[in-house]
Amino acid sequence: MSIEVTKYQQDSEFTSRASEDEIDLRELFAVIWQGKWLIIAITTLFAIGSVLFALSQPNIYKSEALLAPASTDQNGGGGLAALAGQFGGLASMAGINLGGGGGADKTQLAIEVIKSRQFTSEFIQRHNILPELMAVKSWNINDNSIVYDANVYDAEATKWLREVKAPFKPKPSMQEAYKEFSQIIAVNAAKDTGMVTISIEHVSPSVAQQWVTWLVEDINKVMKERDVLEAMRSTEFLNKQIALTNVADIRTMLYKLIEEQAKTIMFAEVRDEYIFKTIDPALVQEEKAKPKRALICVLGTMLGGMLGVMFVLIRYFVKKQD
């Protein structure tokens, strides 16, 4: 008998809770319905604001180039790898890498160099692109010209006018330029194919295309100069070692190492695409990459609707508690 009573009580409590939940749900919808005009007003306000914000954003164009790693080992690893077992120690002293097939390491090194502060700073200064990077306002499609922010840069007088607090100066520093450049550049390597993509985003499609082209040319040139300089220093060291030894076998080995360094220099001098081969060059894009104005408007409207509902509910429950 007691078991039946207990079961009856549990069923009654469950029914009561379900009834309360139903009442609360009805009350919730009633509150929302009563505050529908306020919700509509807030949603409309956010919708208009999102439209104005979307229209105020300039078009951003993205230009990218598809690159393939170019092997920097002219002998396919054969000549140097044959010497690695016997003379690796001495070659390491000379700063020579006898490990064959180091193309992948060279590619990764080149990617990190592109992302480095030093390369970026030299790139900006070499091509004098600081105004296009830090003071651009919009792009004039009619004459393919850049419109600068008059409060930041005077293009006619080539003078920086921006107002900043110390330690910053009117002319942006390379640290500021690097931070800004890092936001518009992307360098990605595909793990499955090894292909490398370099892309730039800018308000001008012509500027974006030109910068990508310059980046590919500059990284090939920088990596080539590094390897040539390293080979020349190694050759100088090996020549000194030849002068210090009379052992025929060692001298023979040293001459072979010098020969390999001469091949490295020759290979670098005759090849412009030293690290990266261009598979698909950068183009002047006709379609913008962003902003997604329709998405901005939809998300802004949805946000306004959710905030409107929350405001109505919070106001109701605050009054209810009072």
What residues form DSSP beta bridges with 186? 199
Question: Is residue 269 a part of any domain in this protein?
Answer: yes
Question: What is the number of domains present in the chain?
Answer: 2
Q: Do residues 214 and 119 share a domain?
A: yes
Are residues 159 and 33 both part of a single domain? no
- pLDDT (tens digit per residue) in 63-80: 999 999 986 444 444 344
Pair (255, 302) in one structural domain: no
Q: Whose CA is closest to 241, among 259, 260, 232, 254?
A: 254
> How buried is 52 (Cβ within 10 angstroms: 0-12 exposed, 13-18 middle, 19+ buried)?
exposed
| Same domain flag for 118 and 204 | yes
Check whether residue 108 and residue 211 sit in a common domain.
yes
pLDDT in tens, 92-102: 554 555 444 44
Do both 124 and 270 map to the same domain? Answer: yes
Asked if the model's pLDDT at residue 10 lies above 90, the reply is no
Are residues 312 and 258 part of one domain? no
Q: Angle formed by the axes of helices 78-93 and 248-269, to 10°?
A: 110
Residue pair 65/318 in contact (Cβ under 8 Å)? The answer is: no
Residues across the chain: 322
CATH number at residue 214: 3.30.1890
- On whether residue 206 sits in a domain, the answer given is yes
Q: Is the pLDDT of residue 311 over 80?
A: yes
Are residues 77 and 141 part of one domain? yes
Residues 73 and 13 in one domain: no
Same domain, 68 and 51: no
Tokens of 72: 């920097």
Q: Domain range holding 219?
A: 61-280
